[in-house]
Amino acid sequence: MSPGSAGPDGPAESPVLVTARRARAAATELAPLPRTVRDGALLAIADALVARAGEIVEANVRDVERARAAGTSAAVVDRLTLTPERIAAIASDVRDIVALPDPVGEVVRGSTLPGGLELRQVRVPLGVVGIIYEARPNVTVDAAVLCLKSGNAVLLRGSSSAYASNTALVAVVRDAVAAAGLPADAVQLVPGESRESVRELMGARGLVDVLIPRGGASLIQTVVSESTVPVIETGVGNVHVYVDELADLDMAVEILVNSKAQRPSVCNAAETVLVHQGIAEAFLPRALAALTEAGVTVHGDESWQKAGAAAGVEVLPVTGEDWATEYLSHDIAAGVVPDLDAAVAHIRRWSSGHTEAIVTRDALAARRFVSLVDSAAVMVNASTRFTDGGQFGFGAEIGISTQKLHARGPMGLPELTSTKYVVTGDGHTRG
């Protein structure tokens, strides 16, 4: 079926729906294939990426030039840039994913029922997974490979700023997939660079099984509120570090600085620090010194401002806006709270449900914090930066879910599957 031609159920379909229908057909072919076949295709992708690095870089140069001409920041241009070395690294990541355990076919639950029926709950692919993501072209390969490994067809909707790179990458991937005997339509770029193509994808319920938006808060908000296709919300991290009354001061400073400044641009970086008033006097000066040294600007409440004045460090006044903000920069909102429950209440009000940390020596305080905080990950005496599929030992991650349904926290391969009950009898009927 060519783009724009009539689908089986009606008049002319949009190119996006045609693509989705092809993905559905490919998913049907893909689901029953054994691991060896899928893994063979993934290895072929890794080889092809290295072999055809030249044409990928050539396409990427066009995106990079366009971005530079548009005055894009150097950091973003860097994230967009592909070199032969970076492509080799992507290929190496693909090989690592091949080695991961196959989630498909895992028997999650099994029993023989009292009447003799044999019940098995078996992992199966979700079917068609749609990924909507921003600038980085390495996500194109990563998402495609994770979906194929878990038996899914994937629809990739990257940003228009990486369109040439993504087109080249997907062409390489599709060729390799087809050569390995899998349907090429298991990996497709969603046609069109406009917002309209995202809207059509969000309306393709029945053809697309799940949409995973990866990117900024506004993209995710749009998809969550407008999609009729089920969505997994990912990646918005308004992350808190709470320093308890009985915290080890050195440890608290180290965890705070690491959580905030080790890589401020990512979702598991801290955005707010809350300090128990009983330790504030001792902690604030040391925290201010360490944060300042790490290049962090503090947006603080009165206590933090006083401590700043005393230390000769500028502390900007914090606002409600600050508590709500995922800075993704060298900024942090900072407050002092009367007790642990006040910290929890603050977190419940402002957190995006990604990750929060407590630093404390008090086992009961740690237990209470873990129990009351309603987020995907809760760290006790550890940096918030550990919320990550790689760090958690999952080998790979398609995103970090901040919702409670289906998957919560870093999503690895099992989170890209559903299950099916298989019930076997020898003529069983219900009385």
CA distances from 265 to 131, 288, 326, 388 (A): 21, 20, 10, 14
Residue 179 CB, nearest distance to its own copies (Å)?
24
Using the minimum distance from each CB to its own copies, give the nearer residue, 145 or 210: 210
Instruction: Establish if 297 lies at the interface with its own copies (CB under 8 A).
Output: no
> Which residues, numbered 79-118, are part of the site for its own copies (CB under 8 A)?
111, 113-114, 117
Q: Is the Cα dihedral 86, 91, 93, 94 positive or negative? A: positive
Smallest separation (angstroms) from its own copies to the CB of 359: 8
Q: Which residues contact 148 (CB under 8 A, 6 or more apart)?
A: 30, 38, 41, 42, 154, 177, 182, 186, 187
- Min dist. Cβ of residue 55 to its own copies (A): 36
Q: Where are the beta strands (DSSP E) in 62-206?
A: 107-112, 118-125, 128-133, 153-157, 187-189
Number of neighbours of residue 111 by Cβ within 10 angstroms: 10
Binding segment for its own copies among 85-93, 189-197, 220-228, 294-302 (CB under 8 A)? 220-228
Does 10 interact with its own copies (rule: CB under 8 A)? no
Beta bridge partners of 243: 275, 359
User: Which residues fall within 8 angstroms of residue 307, CB to CB, at 6 or more apart?
Assistant: 280, 284, 285, 288, 300, 315
To its own copies, the closest distance from the beta carbon of 169 in angstroms equals 27
Binding mask 159-178 for its own copies (x = CB under 8 A): --------------------
User: First CA to last CA across the chain, in angstroms?
Assistant: 48
User: Minimal distance in Å, beta carbon 77 to its own copies?
Assistant: 26
CB of 209 to its own copies, least distance (A): 5
Among residues 195 and 428, whose Cβ is nearest to its own copies? 428
Does 232 bind its own copies (CB under 8 A)? Our answer is yes
**CA distance linking residue 91 with residue 48, whole number of Å:** 9
Piece of the chain touching its own copies by CB under 8 A; list 135-143, 286-294, 300-308, 401-409: 401-409
Residue 195 or 404 having the CB closest to its own copies: 404
313/322 Cα distance (integer angstroms):
19
Site for its own copies in 368-387 (CB under 8 A): 370-372, 374-383, 385-387
Task: List the beta bridge partners of residue 270.
Answer: 239
Give the separation between CA 138 and CA 118, rounded to whole angstroms: 44
Strand 128-133 relative to strand 399-401, pairing? unpaired
Contact positions with its own copies (CB under 8 A) in 242-281: 248, 250-251, 254-255, 258-259, 262
Sheet holding 187-189, edge to edge: 187-189, 153-157, 128-133, 210-214
The pattern of x and - marking residues 199 through 218 that bind its own copies according to CB under 8 A reads: ------x---xx--------
Q: With b meaning 16 or more CB within 10 Å and e meaning fewer, what string describes 382-393?
A: bbbbbbbbeeee
Least distance from its own copies to the Cβ atom of residue 405, Å: 5
Nearer to its own copies, 308 or 409 (CB): 409
Q: Which residues bind its own copies (CB under 8 A)?
A: 28, 31-32, 111, 113-114, 117, 119, 121, 124, 126-127, 205, 209-210, 224-225, 228, 230-232, 248, 250-251, 254-255, 258-259, 262, 348, 366, 370-372, 374-383, 385-387, 391-393, 403-406, 408-410, 418-430
